[in-house]
Amino acid sequence: MAWIYEGSYDGSGLRIGIVVGRFNSVVTERLLDGALDCLDRHGVETDNVDIFWVPGAWEVPATARRLAESGSWDAVICLGAVIRGETPHFEYVASESAKGVATVAMNSEVPVIYGIVTADTLDQAIDRAGAKSGNKGFDAAMAALEMVSVYEEIDDAAEEEEEQQPGCEEHEHPDDGEN
């Protein structure tokens, strides 16, 4: 029979780090408000949330890596906004910030969640930060809560599996201690 593991959204006792890009703050402040609202609604104490402002989306991955590696937070949420302009700068920042957060997430022991909005216009970005299309900051916080729980489920299942392995007792070798 297959075992099904699903995360929960209980934030009780969790410590959450949030990295927020300051560039396009009219959008990123709304994303942060959405994330904080989600965490509060799901039992994360305000004192257990730490917010790290960085210049923009480019700086988010490196900061997220430092937070994740520190072991001080149960999850790291990455928020930012990259809006297309007249130059190819958008392509570089959007692509590299996404790759950077993904790399940090794959190499981290704690969930690292991507909540960087990329949009063609300011209006589109504002819509995705709570105006019309939900709030991607809220969504990122929900993902963080769920993934903390999923990681715990994985750890528990692995520990249980390890305990059930037959023949794992250590035996002394007949020659041990004899010279």
42 is catalytic: no
How far is C-alpha 71 from the chain's CA centre? 13
Residue 4 contacts residue 32 (beta carbons within 8 Å): no
Place of tokens 């480019």: 58
Query: How far is Cα 116 from Cα 113, in angstroms, rounded to an integer?
Result: 9
Residue 76 contacts residue 109 (beta carbons within 8 Å): no
Q: Could you tell me which of 86, 67, 82 has the C-alpha nearest to residue 144? A: 67
The torsion angles phi and psi of 144, rounded to 5 degrees, stand at: -60, -45
Which one is catalytic: 42, 89, 171, 173? 89
Catalytic amino acids?
Answer: 89
